[in-house]
Amino acid sequence: MGKIGVVVCGNSGIDYIKHPYEIPVLRSILLFDGKEYTDFVDIKAEDFYKKLLDNPNLTPSTAQTATGVILETYEKMRDQGFTELLVITLSSKLSGTHDGAVMASNMVEGIKVTVYDSLSIAYPEAKMALTAAKLVSEGKSVPEIIKVLDGIRQKRGLLVSVDTLKYLVKGGRLSGTSGFVGSLLKVKPMLELTADGRLEAAEKIRTRSKAIDRMIERFTEENKEKDLAEVFVIHANAPEEVKDIRKRLQEKLPSFKEIKDYPLTPVVGAHAGPGALAIGWLKK
């Protein structure tokens, strides 16, 4: 068997997770305040959200990793002795990164590249990359790894509460809301990541506290403790609310001694907005 490498995009938030694997990251670009930043390299989550809160009139925009940069990543790994790559991207319904990764795979020579659509974003995507790297270290083939990733993809769930929809609407990342957006801008909606990787508005809620209450309630309705492998919280600079959510979740899930939290990367946060919160899970 040849040497297999795993690549993942930065929208997974893998940069904020300590791990023992060498996993190259395809980084998106953040554009705001007249400057261009490479995600995590030039600006990290805490600094980005502080800038956004200090300057609420700023309207950040993003750009996916250039196909040429992805191609360079493949070529570099080929030159390092890798014979096959498994590239994991955020949902193709949320970004063109997947298409760019596929395009680059058709351009590179001397290495086999498989691009995998996570149909996810943030930690579930990072989980897939970390799992893939672990399986590579155990000698598994790419088809064997993809079978495991398919299981994660089918068993993940994510509920999201944003403080405002203006960033998602402006960035075109919200689907399934025809005739709904105008009223949503005035409330604190709950969104969900669908099975096919879209972000859809699930419910209209009037206040932030009720949105969090409903998110926890919906999580409880959809899951039984015995069926869950992991529960986690993702946030865009909302540490105090994370503490509250973690405490309330642990009261409902006494067997879960640890519920981790992960920051939303600046490029993803540019669309979700400061204060965004999510409860996620992976089933057994």
| Cβ burial, residue 12 (10 Å; 0-12/13-18/19+) | buried
Which residue bears the tokens 């799992």?
131
Q: Which of 73, 75, 78, 98 is nearest to 11 (CA)?
A: 98
pLDDT of residue 177: 45
Is the model's pLDDT at 220 over the cut of 60? yes
**What would the pLDDT profile of 2-23 be if each residue is shown by its tens digit?**
899 999 999 999 999 999 999 9
pLDDT band for position 217 (50/70/90)?
Answer: very high
For position 170, what pLDDT does the model report? 64
Q: Which H or E run includes 98?
A: helix 97-107
**Comparison of pLDDT for 270 and 5, the residue scoring more:** 5
146 token code pair: 């993809």
Segment (H or E) for 281:
strand 277-283
Burial of 57 (0-12, 13-18, 19+ CB in 10 A): exposed
- pLDDT reported for residue 176: 46
Report the b/e string of 106-118 with b at 16+ CB within 10 A.
eebeebebbbbbb
Structure confidence at residue 178 (pLDDT): 43
Neighbours of 281 (CB within 10 A): 22
Distance, CA of 200 to CA of 61 (rounded, Å): 20
What pLDDT score was predicted for residue 13? 97
What's the maximum distance between 2 C-alpha atoms anywhere in the chain?
Answer: 56
Q: Is the pLDDT score of 236 beyond 70?
A: yes
Q: What is the pLDDT of residue 53?
A: 85
Write the DSSP symbol of residue 58: -
Looking at the DSSP assignment, which residues form a beta bridge with residue 225? none
191 bridge partner residues = 160, 201
Tens digits of per-residue pLDDT, 166-208? 776 665 555 444 444 545 556 777 889 999 999 888 888 888 8
Distance CA 273, CA 104 (A): 31
pLDDT tens digit string along 68-96? 999 999 999 999 999 999 999 999 999 99
Separation in Å, CA 247 to CA 188, 215, 232, 259: 22, 14, 12, 9
Domains of the chain in sequence order: 4-28+64-154 (3.40.50.10170), 156-283 (3.30.1180.10)
Q: DSSP assignment of 183-218, as one string?
A: HHTTS--EEEE-TTS-EEEEE--SSHHHHHHHHHHH
Residue 172's pLDDT is 56
pLDDT of residue 204: 80
